[in-house]
């Protein structure tokens, strides 16, 4: 029998509380997922169709203008180049745009029921992870198309095993950032708008739809600090080139993700006691 005597704010208690409420987390993620595709004719098909449509648009715009070569010197079809990063990017950006609103949109729950508040941003990330899983099928489809057409060849090898690790690191990074954004937006609603703009900008500087400028320019060096660049490079290495991702890239992503998660969660927990009265 639980006795609640004091309000705990530590990270450790956060982890155990969220674990206790894991079913709620999944229920909320399921709710968001189901509601997203409810009362629509295509339903969950949208989760598959949207990334494909986005990819088609990008391919139409960029395929002639961007020249891409693999490490072994082969030309990379643009659609492949984009798809390998676009699918994880969509997971990242849809998670964050969901997270930033997650507390404010669930205001009636925040002020009427108690459960660990982390559940809100986490469930957003989990919901987007479901979409990500479906979009990954689309990615496989694109890869299969190019393999069948003969424009590219894949050799499934051990490098693919690194993909789940990348997804875990990305999820940790997203959850950490998501908690900070959700919390900040609760106090200052400006954060939601800023997040929208920032995600637009990030799309262009994270090597998602266009590669980083090469040739050691100052801008290129600056952009290389973006952990998402390392993340996208790692995804491409595994998925397109059959290589184990660069250790430095992976380490950088891992460190950033761990920092974001620890700092984000600690700050979030400390502030969460005031959520109900400040929302």
Partner 1 sequence: MPSVGMNDVAVSFDRVSKRFRLGETHRSLRDLEALEGVSFSVARGEALGVIGPNGAGKSTVLKLLAGILRPDRGGIRVVGRVAPLIEVGAGFHGDLSGRENIFLNGAILGMSRAEIRGKLDAIVNFAGLERFLDTPVKRYSSGMYARLGFSIAAHVDPDVLLVDEVLSVGDAVFRIRCLERMRRLIEGGTTLIFVTHQLEQMQTICRRAMVLDGGRKSFEGPAREAVGHYTAAMSRAWRCRSTDVIESASAGTPEAELLALRVVDAQGAPIVETPARRPFRVDLRLRLSRPVPRLVVELNMRATPEENLLSCNSGRAGRYFNVPEGIHDISLRLSGLPVRGGQYFWNLRLWDAQRSTTLLDTPFGFPLMIDDEGRAAGTLCVDHEWQFAGRVTAELSGFEPVTPAQATAPPRPAPASDREPQAAIRPDQSYEALSLR
**Which residues would be at the binding site for partner 1 (CB under 8 A)?**
1-7, 21, 23-24, 27-28, 31, 34-35, 38-39, 106, 108-115, 187, 273-274, 276-278
Helix (H) or strand (E) holding 23: helix 22-36
Give me the count of residues in the chain: 279
Based on CB atoms, which residue is closest to partner 1, 38 or 149? 38
> Smallest distance from the beta carbon of 93 to partner 1, in angstroms?
24
Based on CB atoms, which residue is closest to partner 1, 20 or 75? 20
Please name the residues in contact with 53: beta carbons below 8 A apart, sequence gap of 6 or more: none
> Smallest distance from the beta carbon of 216 to partner 1, in angstroms?
46
> Smallest distance from the beta carbon of 223 to partner 1, in angstroms?
36
Based on CB atoms, which residue is closest to partner 1, 8 or 217? 8
Beta bridge partners of 69: 75
Phi, psi dihedral angles at 69 (to 5 degrees): -130, 145
Among candidate residues 101, 80, 90, the one with its CA nearest the CA of residue 50: 90
> Smallest distance from the beta carbon of 189 to partner 1, in angstroms?
10
Rounded to a whole number of angstroms, the CA Rg of the chain reads: 20
Based on CB atoms, which residue is closest to partner 1, 186 or 231? 186
SS3 category, 152: coil
> Smallest distance from the beta carbon of 244 to partner 1, in angstroms?
40
Please tell me the distance from the alpha carbon of residue 196 to that of residue 150, in angstroms, as a whole number.
39
Question: Tokens 């694109």 sit at which residue?
Answer: 142
DSSP state, residue 37: T
> Smallest distance from the beta carbon of 17 to partner 1, in angstroms?
11
Based on CB atoms, which residue is closest to partner 1, 16 or 200? 16
Based on CB atoms, which residue is closest to partner 1, 9 or 226? 9
Helix (H) or strand (E) holding 139: helix 119-149
């Amino acid at each position: 029998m639980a006795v609640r005597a004091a309000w705990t704010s530590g990270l450790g208690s956060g982890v155990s509380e969220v674990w206790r409420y894991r079913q709620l987390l999944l229920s909320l993620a399921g709710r968001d997922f189901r509601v997203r595709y409810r009362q629509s004719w295509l339903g969950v098909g949208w989760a598959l169709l949207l990334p494909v449509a986005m990819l088609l648009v990008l391919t139409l715009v960029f395929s002639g203008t961007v020249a891409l070569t693999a490490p072994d010197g082969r030309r990379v079809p643009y659609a492949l180049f984009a798809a390998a990063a676009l699918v994880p990017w969509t997971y990242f950006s849809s998670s964050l745009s969901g997270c930033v609103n997650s507390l404010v949109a669930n205001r009636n729950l925040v002020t009427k029921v108690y459960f660990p508040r982390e559940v809100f941003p986490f469930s957003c990330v989990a919901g987007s992870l479901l979409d990500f899983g479906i979009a990954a099928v689309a990615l496989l489809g694109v890869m299969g198309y190019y393999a069948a057409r003969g424009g590219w060849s894949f050799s499934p090898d051990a490098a693919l095993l690194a993909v789940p690790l990348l997804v875990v690191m990305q999820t940790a990074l997203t959850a950490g950032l998501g908690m900070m954004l959700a919390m900040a937006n609760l106090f200052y609603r400006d954060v939601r708008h800023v997040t929208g703009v920032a995600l637009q900008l990030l799309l262009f500087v994270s090597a998602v739809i266009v590669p980083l400028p090469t040739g050691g320019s100052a801008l290129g060096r600056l952009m290389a600090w973006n952990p998402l660049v390392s993340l996208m490079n790692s995804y491409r290495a595994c998925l397109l080139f059959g290589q184990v991702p660069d250790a430095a890239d992976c380490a950088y992503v891992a460190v950033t993700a761990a920092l974001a998660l620890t700092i984000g969660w600690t700050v979030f927990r400390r502030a969460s006691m005031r959520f109900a009265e400040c929302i």
